[in-house]
Structure 1
Amino acid sequence: MIDLHCDTVMCLIDDLSQGDLYENSWKIDIKRLQRAKSRIQDFALYVNMEKHPNSYARYCDMLALFQEQVTTYSNHIMHIRSYADIKACYDTNKIGALLSVEEGGVFEGDLNKLRKAYDDGVRLITITWNYANGLGEPHCGDATKSLTSKGVEFVELMEDLGMIVDCSHLNDGGTKQLGQILRKPFIASHSNARALTNHSRNLSDELITLIANKGGVIGLNFAQAFLGTSSISRIEDIVKHGLYIRNLGGDDVVALGTDFDGIRPDTEIEDIAHMPELYDAFIKAGLSEDSVDKIFWKNADRLFKEIL
């Protein structure tokens, strides 16, 4: 299994009394990832720029915590910086920890800070969160706006460095522009289908097709508000979004982006250890094991091999 987005580091830095990366009271920790036979878990460093005006300092604090935790539990988990690292994790059965940043604005438009982030081991950046940030417009803003000139420089340097560009939270205009200016695939790490649930955080049919045609992937988000009208995040709704995106974009576009520990905890899948329930649900929906394996890890693995 490869999961393209969680916010566990945010939970850890805000309340270490609830445990650490090895075992905690939230939905993702090393013990649960081992039970789920996880291959790669993305850990996002999410910064709310209104709550943390010195957003770069908050990023640095979260980075330090991530590094300390991964070092402490290095017998179980490894910070991956390249596809060679990923293969090493596969060979040793360690969990690969992919480090991402959810809010490109933390780098303040400074390309040297972006280069430093690459040196820090960041390999994926979600360009915006829910605020305009000098790079682009969020999903909840003006849908027609393009990336800023600095935003174009930013994503082009990301591509040159070998970082994954993530359009989750970005507006439609900026996402379309990524398809025009990037040579390599880009992703929506944790987004669903707007045709099924009409929310600006979800992707239109046009954007699903664009990402698929670029060779990118879309990680299914488990947040209730992006799945449907139920009061909890239901497995059947996750499957519906997965099948819809697959039918539109093909067998190679769907992946997982749970958003665990960043969404409401009311989820039918109790935590990451219970992900086999979703695997079985896709099988019951008529997919072959190979197709479900693509959703669970092979599609993301292919993208990592191409970009990292």
Structure 2
Amino acid sequence: MRLPVVDLHCDMLSYLAKVPAANPYSKDDIACAIPWLKAGGVRMQVMAIYTDVNPESMKLASKQADIFQNLLEENLMDLAYAGPDFLANWKNQKNVGIIASVENAAGFGNETATLDEIKSQFDSILDKCKKLAYISLTHHTENRFGGGNYTDGIGLKDDGKHLLDYMAGKKIPIDLSHTSDLLAEGILNHIDTEKLDVPVIASHSNFREIWNHRRNLTDEFAKEIIYRGGIIGVNFLRAFLDNDVPERLFEHLLHGFHIKGEKAMCFGADFFYTKNFGDPSRIPFYFPLAENSSKYPGLLEHLETDLSDQHLANLAYENALNFYKKLWK
């Protein structure tokens, strides 16, 4: 039986915002193109609003929020807004449901924005997108909110605390996928100290226990997400799986179950536009077994000998679906 799929992270919106003549149907350009999503049985796809840390970050984030709106308006035959009504009628949906997220809070506030401007930008993006699947405070580098995953010794800054405070009660999870370890620790401590109502997830992260890369989660942080009822989406990028062994993807997926994440494990493929990427060592970005969104049925079939039918369903869609149903009820 072919299972529907929920995927927690792709960069379709930044592709459409930055690449001339970008087309959401272009299978040659981006691995999460709409035809690939449909071929792989993806029924819900999170699309990240992604920005670098630069003076234009707020403008680019607003542009991507507009693009998200336009995608829904212009592709009614293929896409639908994946809000609470979509989730409540999951089995009757025929279109791919899409929901936005924010990857790098620099999209809310560049380095010179005031806190009032940040809150205004936050409210504007949330209004355009209706809901946000999650927010990441950082990407790879440091910003005014904290330290990214390629920064050492930089944790949660005061502006990061202000943003977490502003998120509280809005039913938007905080994402640990791009934090430094010190930032992840600071986020968890601030949530607990201030008793904030902020769920915690990792939208597109693998396990450091399997592949020792600072972009991947330590078991300590992974278990903390599981303990807090969050979800973890496994990333398909070769650099974060294993440079040489494609099957390492299955080890990452199974490791999440081994640390008692049977209710947490999801997919977070992280498909993005790779043609203008400057680092040739990253090529190929994805192994053939997971090179686009059509590959989910094959991945799930491979796991049939290791996971029960229920655990396969949990991974494919039920964990993510149940998390957001509970969050947004």
Residue aligning to 1:5: 9
Shift of 1:65: 2.2
2:208 is matched by which residue type in structure 1?
A: R
How does 1:10-29 map onto structure 2 within 5 Å? 10-17=14-21, 20-25=23-28, 26-29=30-33
Distance 1:102 1:153 in 2: 17
> Retained in 1: the 8 A contact 2:9–2:46?
yes
Task: List per-residue Cα deviations over 1:81-132 (Å, max 9, x = no partner).
Answer: x322322454232211010121112211512221222212250212111122
2:92 is matched by which residue type in structure 1?
A: D
2:237 is matched by which residue type in structure 1?
A: A
User: After the TM superposition, which segments of 4 or more aligned residues of structure 1 sit over 6 Å from their partners?
Assistant: none
2:254 match: secondary structure: helix
How does 1:111-260 map onto structure 2 within 5 Å? 111-121=119-129, 122-123=131-132, 124-143=134-153, 145-180=154-189, 181=191, 182-230=196-244, 234=246, 236-260=247-271
Distance 2:304 2:103 in 1: 32
Distance 1:214 1:166 in 2: 13
Task: List per-residue Cα deviations over 1:193-247 (Å, max 9, x = no partner).
Answer: 01111111101111011111001111101111111131xx72x211101111221
> Retained in 2: the 8 A contact 1:256–1:295?
yes
How does 1:21-100 map onto structure 2 within 5 Å? 21-25=24-28, 26-50=30-54, 53-80=55-82, 82-88=83-89, 90-100=91-101
Residue aligning to 2:307: 287
Shift of 1:184: 4.5
Distance 1:159 1:249 in 2: 27
Question: TM (normalized to structure 2)?
Answer: 0.84
Task: List per-residue Cα deviations over 1:35-55 (Å, max 9, x = no partner).
Answer: 2221210111211224xx211
Q: 1:267 to 1:177 in 2, by over 3 A?
A: same
- Identity of matched residues, %: 26
Residue aligning to 1:301: 321
Task: List per-residue Cα deviations over 1:22-44 (Å, max 9, x = no partner).
Answer: 34422112222222221210111
Shift of 1:168: 0.9
Distance 1:155 1:74 in 2: 34
Question: TM (normalized to structure 1)?
Answer: 0.90
Q: 1:229 to 1:22 in 2, by over 3 A?
A: closer
Distance 2:214 2:313 in 1: 28
2:64 match: secondary structure: helix
> Retained in 2: the 8 A contact 1:137–1:146?
yes
1:163 match: secondary structure: coil
> Retained in 2: the 8 A contact 1:179–1:214?
no
Distance 1:194 1:64 in 2: 36
Q: 1:294 to 1:29 in 2, by over 3 A?
A: same
Shift of 1:167: 1.2
Distance 2:58 2:7 in 1: 25
1:134 is matched by which residue type in structure 2?
A: R
1:5 match: secondary structure: strand
1:114 is matched by which residue type in structure 2?
A: F
> Retained in 2: the 8 A contact 1:39–1:90?
no
2:24 is matched by which residue type in structure 1?
A: L
Structure 2: any 5+ residue segments left out of the alignment?
Answer: 110-114, 275-283
Distance 1:87 1:29 in 2: 25
> Retained in 2: the 8 A contact 1:141–1:171?
yes
2:296 to 268, 275, 282: 275
1:85 is matched by which residue type in structure 2?
A: F
> Retained in 2: the 8 A contact 1:220–1:258?
yes
1:76 is matched by which residue type in structure 2?
A: D
RMSD of equivalent CA atoms: 2.0
> Retained in 2: the 8 A contact 1:39–1:95?
yes
Distance 1:17 1:128 in 2: 28
